[in-house]
Amino acid sequence: MKSIELMYPSDNSPERLDQFITREVPDLTRSAVQRLIESGMITVNGAPARPSQKLKGSEQIFIEIPPLAPAVPQAEEIPLTILYEDSDLVVVDKAAGMSVHPGAGNPDGTLVNALLSHCDDLSGIGGEIRPGIVHRIDKDTTGVIVVAKHDRSHLELARQFQEHSIKRVYIALVYGSPKTDKGRIESEIGRHPVDRKKMSGSARHGKHAVTHWKVIGRYGPVTAMEQRLETGRTHQIRVHLSEAGFPLLGDPVYGGSGRLTALKDQTLKALIRKLGRQALHARTLGFLHPISGEYLEFSSPLPEDMAKILEHLDKGSET
């Protein structure tokens, strides 16, 4: 049984209990919160709660979440591009369309399923569903990811991620053209107040997020950018760029469809539509080896779909 204690801030405006919990505990959907309330698993100031109950300030909220019993991921023989492997970790160049671990709507075909077939010594800290998973990249983002093979390795890599000492560089293709060649975006990223599939840089109770960006190519309506993460929040680059006015090409969640329609270059339009995903690639990952302490750095070339867009843009800039 997992227990969570929350306090509703005394200076907040009145808010429904289920809305507050859903925002504070992103892993719980609103329907899941309501089920827990109906089951008597959530109390407010020690008394049984109601879904529509209004919080007015300083309430103590206690949540009990029964243990989940998900299916254990099964090993699947899925081809992987292994960049490096030893007895402590494995570094993979993840393809587009592959989720990192099983979840709602993705019970199989994930990186975890593939790795369970490739090796039988993944770290157990991530649990049955996420063995070895220290960090994640989005399903449709390509590039470098490291996975721990045992708990000592997992703990040390997790420490480096928490201390923001790991080098993470992404390549992004975006709509628009920034006025300067480099910059820094900083905000508090949390669950979007209306659309739970999205994150937002203006969330009331978000987590601090910092992205450093640099222009590496300007092509009229499209810009190629390098993104260096100081922190690693969910959808961080996608949120930061979209809210700065430079949404990623092909991003189905964070905008850009109007920019696509306005493009005059029909070949470019076709390439973006064929992309079918956000144009984001985790190019470089650098960290200290969790056991030896040696600095390791791995890079992945642009995937073919993004490379074709850049190739077309480069040809256009030459004419």
The answer as to whether 226 is a domain residue is yes
Instruction: Looking at the structure, tell me whether residues 16 and 118 fall in a common domain.
Output: no
Helical pair 30-38 and 17-24, crossing angle rounded to 10 deg? 120
Instruction: Looking at the structure, tell me whether residues 217 and 285 fall in a common domain.
Output: yes
Out of 88, 93, 138, 140, the active site residue is 138
Last residue of a domain, one of 35, 65, 95: 65
Q: How far apart are CA 225 and CA 219, in angstroms?
A: 11
What pLDDT was estimated at residue 193?
74
Instruction: Looking at the structure, tell me whether residues 148 and 201 fall in a common domain.
Output: no
Q: For residue 202, how far is the Cα from the chain centroid?
A: 17
The answer as to whether 74 is a domain residue is no
Instruction: Looking at the structure, tell me whether residues 313 and 174 fall in a common domain.
Output: yes
The answer as to whether 17 is a domain residue is yes
Instruction: Looking at the structure, tell me whether residues 254 and 141 fall in a common domain.
Output: no
Q: Torsion angle, CA of 7/9/10/16, rounded to 10 degrees?
A: -80
DSSP 8-state assignment for residue 130 = S
Identify whether the C-beta of residue 191 lies closer than 8 Å to the C-beta of residue 207.
no
Task: Find, among 69, 72, 70, 3, the residue nearest to 36 by Cα.
Answer: 3
Instruction: Looking at the structure, tell me whether residues 202 and 285 fall in a common domain.
Output: yes
What pLDDT was estimated at residue 220?
94
Last residue of a domain, one of 111, 139, 162: 162
Last residue of a domain, one of 120, 143, 162: 162
Question: Six-digit token pair at 261?
Answer: 């329609």
The enclosing domain of 186 has a CATH number of: 3.30.2350.10
Q: What is the mean pLDDT of each run of 10 residues along the chain (319 residues)?
A: 88 91 83 85 91 90 75 83 95 94 78 87 63 89 94 91 95 97 94 77 82 97 97 94 96 88 94 95 98 97 97 79
What pLDDT was estimated at residue 173?
98
Q: How far apart are CA 272 and CA 135, in angstroms?
A: 28
The answer as to whether 75 is a domain residue is no
Instruction: Looking at the structure, tell me whether residues 182 and 308 fall in a common domain.
Output: yes
Domain count along the chain: 3
Q: Report phi then psi at 58, rounded to 5.
A: 70, 15
Is residue 88 annotated as a catalytic residue, yes or no? no
Q: Sign of dihedral through CA atoms 119, 120, 122, 128?
A: positive
Paired with 85 in beta bridges are 90
The enclosing domain of 41 has a CATH number of: 3.10.290.10
CB neighbour list of residue 109: distance below 8 Å, 6 or more residues apart: 76, 78, 98, 99
Question: Helices (DSSP H) in the chain: which residue ranges?
Answer: 17-24, 30-38, 111-118, 151-162, 236-243, 257-262, 266-275, 304-318
What pLDDT was estimated at residue 311?
96
Identify whether the C-beta of residue 108 lies closer than 8 Å to the C-beta of residue 76.
yes
Q: Torsion angle, CA of 196/199/203/207, rounded to 10 degrees?
A: 120
Q: How far is CA 137 from CA 16, 89, 129, 273, in A?
A: 33, 17, 16, 22
Q: Domain range holding 226? A: 168-318
Instruction: Looking at the structure, tell me whether residues 207 and 262 fall in a common domain.
Output: yes
How many Cβ atoms sit within 10 Å of the Cβ of residue 120?
Answer: 9
Instruction: Looking at the structure, tell me whether residues 141 and 8 fall in a common domain.
Output: no
Instruction: Looking at the structure, tell me whether residues 47 and 158 fall in a common domain.
Output: no
Residue 42 CB-half CA count within 13 A: 22
